Amino acid sequence: MTPDEIRTLVNNSTRADWHKHSEAAAMFGSDIDVSLDWGETINSNFTEPWHQNLPDPGASSISVVLQHNGNPVSSWTFVVVDGGRYLVPLPRSGAGGGYELSSDMMPLGNLMFDLYHPGGTSSSLTDLLNRCNVIIV
């Protein structure tokens, strides 16, 4: 598989397609050579205004790595927010002073939200982004 084919496979998958084998790793069910690993901390004291209105403003940024046969294919920065309740893609500062997330990140973002989701009142990534006033562009 090429890196683009692997990314397409991931972007077209849902939580049901993955087997979570630890708190921070999952394998694609029909192709165990494809895996997602998360949890390597980038910044344990991550602070940006977009997540400060959540019940617990504490956050940390982590790396999410897509692998094929144990070799990295792609990696992204995600943020664990609200006291560890949610995992979301890192939004960027928008032109108007707010925050935004590219719609291209939504398939992976939704998948990671569902794989990670230990609990909280937001039932979807879109709901959580709305609570944080992050605009999808």
User: Is the pLDDT confidence value at 17 over 70?
Assistant: yes
Supply the pTM of this predicted model. Answer: 0.93
28-32, 61-65, 112-116 — most confident range: 61-65
Residue ranges with strand state E in the chain = 18-22, 25-28, 31-43, 60-68, 71-81, 86-89, 92-93, 99-101, 134-136
d(CA 132, CA 137): 15
Report whether pLDDT(33) > 80.
Answer: yes
pLDDT digits 0-9 by tens, 66-121? 999 999 999 999 999 998 999 999 999 987 889 999 999 999 999 999 999 766 77
Tell me the C-alpha distance between 38 and 137, whole Å: 25
The values of phi and psi at residue 9, to 5°, are -55, -45
Average pLDDT on 37-50 reads 95
Mean pLDDT of the chain: 93
Distances (CA, A) of 62 to 29, 53, 76, 84, 95: 24, 20, 8, 12, 25
Q: Contact 60/44 with Cβ under 8 angstroms? A: yes
Single-letter amino acid code for the residue at 30: S
Locate 105 and state its tokens.
């990140």
Higher pLDDT: 62 or 97? It is 62
What is the rounded distance in angstroms from the CA atom of residue 73 to the CA atom of residue 97?
33
